[in-house]
Structure 1
């Protein structure tokens, strides 16, 4: 993954990351293609921090007005809105494709189908219930900073997926992976490392649990479809986020 450093491309990657991962209006955001995504990858966790900060602010403000349950439902909606439901769509597609009993090629066809199937609908519903429940706990404990950790950890976990082959020949993963440098990845890990240091052992434990979840998803994807896809990345982000939100309050003394 060695790549010569270009400052202009590096900075342009921030706009691409924001434009791709959020619905925030980004002036002169570059077109999203393989090269642009490779430049944006180092900025994914930084963009995640912006998403997390917005979600944390929404959770805090809503909790001043509504009950923890109502605030958690509305916060989950705000979180999904900020990302345009991008990762939730990947989660639903993966539930449809990875959980069905079918050959590898058929699984990939199902994941590419824009229609929502039974596994996808059920998985999405149960996941959102879980996210609302863990957000309620976060709100009750006033653990606002873990929302930033969850958002940063989810997008940092995408770097682990770079170790896996693409499930489709010539897929996006292989083309993006070849354009990412180790220096870029280390830069991208700065927010996660900083938040873990800030949140001490509970933060480290929650981040480690998120890493285990990521490893589990990668194992499942490798065994079911032979590698990763963009949908798998979305599933990883969502599941890592919710695991971090779930585990962190449990580790608080």
Structure 2
């Protein structure tokens, strides 16, 4: 693993310009290095967190929540937010797994997807607004929440199976390697230590993991396994749940 690998994963997870064109590497290459997702998540969190800290000096708490949420959505190209909508639509579709699969492939967003996005955005805005008076806590919380969200996807790929051949397939295959999962866990623990979040940080990570496992169970019952949309939705909900816990505790 080198700097180019980090750039490749960063280019896959975000729209941040790097010297590597996202078209110059295949999905399997990124999947082989999925274990560094928490590290790249911490990098994303650092960039967003620093911007949020600057915003907190000039805007109201409400605008801080709105703008930071918007940055998080935009920086990922809206892919994970769209995945949350597709997951909700698929979950609420009546019928078997094939019907749910077709719904999740539809480019349009249904009523369940729309409601899920509205609730998610409202939750993010309200939670991020509460950090307005503590820039240090704001920065470390965003870093940890982003890293935790990425680690949840790693966990799902490690213990889950793909519902069908698609975006999730190379990731679930790659992360069955226990050494990679242990490496990812080590990275996540290091991020916990560096951010100095203490007990509340451990609690936020634990809650995020519970959210990821619950969504894994739900997707297995509904779809027969996980999908790219399930992992994307888990990223959003794990981030939100982590921020909620961090906002209510003292770091």
DSSP-derived class of the 1:189 partner: helix
Once the two structures are TM-superposed, the CA of residue 103 in structure 1 deviates from its matched residue by 1.9
Structure 1 gaps, min length 5: 1-6
Aligned to 2:154: 159
Determine helix, strand or coil for the equivalent of 2:113.
Answer: helix
Counterparts in 2 of 1:97-136, with a 5 A limit?
Answer: 97-136=90-129
Q: Say whether residues 1:25 and 2:17 are aligned partners.
A: yes
CA contact (8 A) 1:48 1:155 kept: yes
Q: Distance in 1 between matches of 2:88 and 2:166?
A: 20
> Offset at 1:146?
0.8
Secondary structure of the corresponding residue to residue 237 of structure 1: helix
8 Å contact 1:141–1:249 — kept in the other structure? no
Q: Partner of 1:231 in structure 2?
A: 229
Alignment coverage as a number of residue pairs: 244
What are the residue-to-residue correspondences of 1:183-194 with 2, within 5 Å?
183-194=179-190
**Per-residue displacement from partner, 1:151-198 (whole Å, max 9, x unpaired)?**
000001112212111111x33433333334333333333442123232
Q: Distance in 1 between matches of 2:103 and 2:76?
A: 23
Match of 1:201 in 2: 199
2:130 pairs, out of 125, 137, 153, with 137
Match of 1:14 in 2: 6
User: Quick check: 1:41–1:185 contact (8 Å CA) kept in 2?
Assistant: no
TM-score (normalised: structure 2): 0.90
Tell me how large the CA RMSD over aligned residues is: 1.8
Taking the aligned partners of 2:132 and 2:178, their CA distance within structure 1 comes to 37
My pick for the range that moved more, 51-60 or 179-188, is 179-188
What TM-score, normalized by structure 1, do the two folds share?
0.89
